[in-house]
Structures are given as structure tokens and as C-alpha cells.
């Protein structure tokens, strides 16, 4: 028996869906990346658990791809299986003090609906791009301070029941999350109003503004996160980085701190542009920016540009 044969045997119940030689350009906001050997599309928690258990029996890891809003996969593609969460895993519902959202849910849609329903406090999140699961992973790296609205997270891992991890609240909540995501996949999360009431939430990623980026095709960002008290878009402008390009990738001038790509762009262009901009900012204004995009090699390992 082979992995593909065993995976296809799971499809008898309708899921997970198995796709081979998938073009990652269609799965990333920047439209870059090579071919993924295997994409496993899961539409329910049960389907996801079956897929994880099978991958574990073969000793394989995985890469989770949601909306691809921050993902920059290798031009050589991905040899590690790709998991995509859709269907029931992209649903969400509001309650009297927040929302329960599955990992594949669009975070901006959830927060816009909460705001329209009179649940103040989520309005600053309505500009966020990507899925709930992707935002939690970014928060784990300190790039997206969800700590003040994240109450708990359900995670799945091979051979185990779904585990609920409660996020500690308080002064430390803004400094990133405390989840151990190694060999785990985020299933769903409970978002609730900040303890200090509506209108108090401020998201660091929005400091440089969003402008009209949502109407621009093939764009992603924020690209950089500045140190505490430093706005990345400002230091990029002061260093003359806005409008910089490498191959088919360009740093946007309005709004700043975003990357736009042409159809000919490669992941290598995005990586080169990111590295060049960081070096220029460090050289000219002495600020060390952190990269918010997620670069991965063909084995799914993160690359630090």
C-alpha cells in the first residue's frame, strides 16, 4: 500500500479530497510558488483527523494553507503534503459576546458581521486578511496580537482527541499566544470582546493603514513588523524603499508595507525584495524590521529572510 492509495480509500465517504500536482500560485495571495505534490482538502473535523492519522502512520508532516494571504512557498513547489481546510471548517457563528469560528473562516468577514451586529471591539480586526487559523498562527509568532480577543482554541493532532486550549488573559495576552502548534492543526476558536470593553482593541498590523489594498489583485502584507513604537510603513518611506522592485515583485507606495506582484513574479523575487528592503532600512535608519510573511522551502520548513 502507498500513501496515495490509502488516502484515496478515505475518499469513499466523500472526503478528504485528494489532488496531485497542484499549482500553488492559485492558492497564494501573491500568486507565487511551484507545484505541490499532494493537496488534501478537508471539509470536516472528522475528515481532517483521518487525514492527520494517516499522515502520521507514514511519518509525514504537513503544511496548512488557508487563504494564502501571508504564505510564500518555494518556486520548487512542496514535497510535503498540503492541508486545506474548507467546507464546514470555514463556518462561523456569532453569540452574545463574540464569535466561534472554524479555522478556515475569513477573519475579516467574521469581524464585520460582529460589528454590524453591535458587538463593538472587533472593528479594528475587520481589515485583517486571511483566515482565523492563519491569524492565530501569526499571533503565535508575535505578529498579530489576538491575545485580548482569543478565549480558547481547539486543536487536532494525530492519534489524539481534539484538545481545547484556553488562552490566558491579562497583561501578558498582548505578547503573543502560548499555543504549541508543532504537529497540531488549529480547528476552531472562540473570539470574545476585550475585557476592557468595546473600541479598545488596537491591532499592530494595521498601524500603517490599509488604504485600497483590498481592491488590488495579487497583493499581500503587511510585509514587515517594526519594533515596539516603530511603524514599519514610516521607516520604509524614510529609507526610500517604497516602489522598490525585484523581478515581478514591488513594494507598494500606497498603502505602504505591502507587496504587489505581476503574473511573472516568483517566490524568489518576493524573497529578494524583502531582504533588500530590510537591509536598506537597517543601513539608513538603524531599524531592524521583522518579516511578517511566511516563507517556506520545498519541505515545508520556514525560511527567515
Give 177-201 pLDDT, tens digit per residue: 566 666 889 999 998 865 444 444 4
Which residue, chain included where needed, has cell 492558492? 27
Residue 14 has what DSSP assignment? Answer: T
The pTM of this model reads 0.85
3-state secondary structure of 145: coil
pLDDT of residue 247: 96
Which regions of the chain does DSSP assign to beta strands (E)? 17-23, 35-42, 63-64, 71-72, 82-85, 92-95, 98-102, 150-156, 163-166, 185-192, 219-220, 224-225, 245-246, 249-251, 259-261, 290-291, 294-296, 302-303
Residue 228 has what DSSP assignment? Answer: T
Cα(231)–Cα(204) distance, integer angstroms: 9
pLDDT of residue 209: 41
Residue 78 has what DSSP assignment? Answer: B
The CATH number that domain 208-303 falls under is 3.90.78.10
Residue by residue, pLDDT tens for the chain (305 residues) are: 687 788 777 776 677 888 999 999 999 999 999 999 999 999 999 999 989 999 999 999 999 998 888 899 999 999 999 999 999 999 999 988 889 999 999 988 888 888 788 776 666 665 566 899 988 887 777 666 676 788 899 999 998 889 998 876 544 444 445 666 668 899 999 988 654 444 444 444 444 444 333 445 688 878 998 888 888 999 999 999 999 999 999 999 888 899 999 999 999 999 999 999 999 999 999 999 999 899 999 999 998 88
Name 207's Cβ contacts closer than 8 Å, sequence gap at least 6.
231, 232, 233
Cα(278)–Cα(271) distance, integer angstroms: 11
pLDDT of residue 211: 39
CA distance readout (Å), 161 to 17, 46, 104, 296: 22, 11, 20, 29
C-alpha angle 91-85-65 in degrees, rounded to nearest 5: 130
Domain 3-87 part of CATH 3.40.50.12140: no
Partners of residue 72 on adjacent β-strands? 295
C-alpha cell of residue 61:
508532516
Gyration radius of the chain's alpha carbons: 19
Q: Where are the domains of the chain?
A: 3-87, 91-192, 208-303
Strand 82-85, strand 35-42: pairing: parallel
C-alpha cell of residue 203:
491591532
Q: Determine the topology of domain 91-192 in CATH.
A: 3.30.465
pLDDT of residue 136: 86
3-state secondary structure of 282: helix
Amino acid at each position: 500500500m502507498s500513501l496515495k492509495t490509502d488516502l484515496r480509500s478515505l475518499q469513499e465517504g466523500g472526503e478528504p479530497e485528494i489532488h496531485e500536482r497542484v499549482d500553488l500560485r492559485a492558492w497564494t495571495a501573491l500568486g507565487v510558488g511551484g507545484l505541490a505534490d499532494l493537496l488534501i482538502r478537508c471539509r470536516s473535523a472528522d475528515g481532517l483527523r483521518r487525514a492527520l492519522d494517516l499522515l502520521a502512520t507514514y511519518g509525514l508532516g504537513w503544511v496548512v494553507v488557508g487563504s494564502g494571504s501571508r504564505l510564500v512557498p518555494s518556486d520548487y513547489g512542496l514535497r510535503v503534503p498540503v492541508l486545506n481546510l474548507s467546507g464546514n471548517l470555514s463556518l462561523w457563528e456569532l453569540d452574545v459576546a463574540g464569535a466561534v469560528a472554524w479555522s478556515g473562516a475569513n477573519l475579516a468577514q467574521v469581524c464585520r458581521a460582529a460589528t454590524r451586529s453591535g458587538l463593538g471591539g472587533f472593528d479594528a480586526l475587520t481589515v485583517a486578511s486571511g483566515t482565523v487559523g492563519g491569524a492565530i498562527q501569526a499571533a503565535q509568532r508575535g505578529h498579530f496580537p489576538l491575545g485580548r480577543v482569543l478565549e480558547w482554541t481547539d486543536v487536532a493532532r494525530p492519534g489524539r482527541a481534539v484538545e481545547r486550549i484556553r488562552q490566558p488573559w491579562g497583561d501578558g495576552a498582548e505578547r503573543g499566544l502560548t499555543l504549541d502548534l508543532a504537529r497540531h492543526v488549529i480547528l476552531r476558536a472562540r473570539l470574545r470582546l476585550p475585557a476592557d470593553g468595546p473600541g479598545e482593541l488596537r491591532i499592530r498590523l494595521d498601524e500603517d493603514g490599509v488604504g485600497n489594498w483590498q481592491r488590488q489583485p495579487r497583493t499581500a502584507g503587511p510585509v514587515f513588523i517594526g519594533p515596539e513604537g516603530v511603524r514599519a510603513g514610516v521607516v520604509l518611506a524614510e529609507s526610500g524603499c517604497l516602489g522598490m522592485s525585484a523581478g515581478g515583485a514591488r513594494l507598494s507606495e500606497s498603502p505602504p508595507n505591502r507587496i504587489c506582484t505581476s503574473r511573472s513574479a516568483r517566490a524568489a523575487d518576493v524573497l529578494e525584495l524583502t531582504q533588500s528592503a530590510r537591509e536598506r532600512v537597517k543601513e539608513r535608519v538603524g531599524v531592524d524590521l521583522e518579516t511578517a510573511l511566511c516563507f517556506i522551502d520545498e519541505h515545508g520548513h520556514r525560511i527567515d529572510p
